[in-house]
Amino acid sequence: MTAYMRASEIAKKPVVTLAGDDLGQVKDLVFDASTGSIRCFTLAGRGLLAGPLHRALLWRNVHALGPHAVMVRDESALEKDDRAARFGATEPGGGNVLGVAITTRSGERLGTVTDAVVETGRTPVVAGYEIETDEHRRVLLPVAGPVTVSGERVLVPDATAQYRAGDLSGFGTAAESLRVRLQQDSHEE
């Protein structure tokens, strides 16, 4: 079964070993701009005064992503630095997507990205975004088809504007409907 969660729900989850050691908490989600698949997390220390740990956790080293914690086998699952997370973030198409504008390919502005929706599974992917519209409403927008993501803008197919969900329970239906619509459009062309 496909499950969805907001990126903000994954951030701040503790990273715990199978032996029960607390290694830190998730800070950033890093994903591949072209495929949407999650590559790694960056970590911050636990506690009020702890800062970033400057160590990355690659997705392939995650044992389980649970509702309350990210489980890893042991401390060796963490990279020695956060180069894996920084790599490509400053390249064309890279950067933090929170706060960037989301527009259709024909130039219609849909809103500003406030969060990402992650489809969990064997390889989790960014399946959509929570956006704040110009009317200050927060809606969930699925992404499918040719999507261009960068730290400056997210460009989506025009049909995306018609498939919105108010919450995560309706997001799966909106995502599936968008997929079907884009397939129909590609067959007609």
Partner 1 sequence: MEWWSWLIVALAIVLAGAALVVPLQARRRSGGVIAQGRRPREGGGPKP
- Interface contacts to partner 1, rule CB under 8 A: 7-8, 11-12, 26-34, 39, 42, 44, 48-52, 85, 87-98, 113, 115-116, 126, 149-151
Token digits for 145?
């088809």
Q: Whole-angstrom Cα distance, residue 20 to residue 136?
A: 42
C-beta closer to partner 1: residue 111 or 151 = 151
| CB nearer partner 1, residue 44 or residue 175 | 44
Nearer to partner 1, 90 or 186 (CB): 90
Distance of closest approach, residue 167 Cβ to partner 1, in angstroms: 19
CB of 41 to partner 1, least distance (A): 9
Question: Distance (Å, rounded) from C-alpha 54 to C-alpha 134?
Answer: 36
C-beta of residue 156 within 8 angstroms of C-beta of residue 166: no
CB of 19 to partner 1, least distance (A): 25
Q: How far is CA 8 from CA 59, 116, 158, in A?
A: 17, 8, 27
Kindly state the smallest distance separating residue 164's Cβ from partner 1, in Å.
Answer: 19
Q: Which is nearer to partner 1, 20 or 51 (CB)?
A: 51
Do 153 and 138 meet the contact criterion of CB atoms below 8 Å apart?
no
**Unique residue bearing structure tokens 């800070």:** 27
CA 133 – CA 180 distance, rounded (Å): 25
